[in-house]
Amino acid sequence: MDYNNVVQKMLKVIPEVTPLYEKELEWWDEILPHIVFGDVVNPYIIRLLREGNDEQIAKNVFNFLEEMAICSDEKVHEILAVTVLEQLGDDPTILEEARRYMGNETKKISDEVEKGWGR
């Protein structure tokens, strides 16, 4: 996985996001990964965690985030840390629920993000 294919990989692993992604494409000719994760994936994850009614999808989502965390591409790490985990940390309840599904590397990055924000 790298910055250039992270969106395509995400859509394969989390196909439930595809309709939301396609709707966003109506506004853009091309969507950069930070926009996809910030405007499409994050709201999806937050809704998924709030509703709490599909544990398997939540596991799939966070397994993918863990793949991002262990990826060697620093730009992918930036998407995870800056675009995804910072927003999840904005709501302590959501972050607590998210941590139930996070892998070890994702938790480490989340902890660094939270420490950086003084939360």
Q: Tens of pLDDT along 48-102?
A: 999 988 899 999 999 999 999 999 999 999 999 999 999 999 999 999 999 999 9
Check pLDDT > 80 for residue 29: no
CA distances from 21 to 27, 49, 69 (A): 10, 19, 22
- 41-57 in b/e form (b: 16+ CB < 10 A) is bbebbbebbeeeeeeeb
Check pLDDT > 90 for residue 9: yes
95 neighbors 89 (Cβ within 8 angstroms): yes
Can you give the pLDDT at residue 53? 84
Check pLDDT > 90 for residue 3: yes
Higher-pLDDT residue of 77 and 27 is 77
Tokens matching residue 21 = 């992604």
CA within 13 Å, CB half, 42? 21
Check pLDDT > 90 for residue 18: yes
- The mean pLDDT value for 36-46 works out to 94
Check pLDDT > 80 for residue 28: no
Residue 106's pLDDT band (boundaries 50, 70, 90)?
Answer: very high
Measured distance CA(108)–CA(114) in Å, rounded: 10
- The mean pLDDT value for 21-44 works out to 87
Residue where the block lists tokens 């109506």: 26
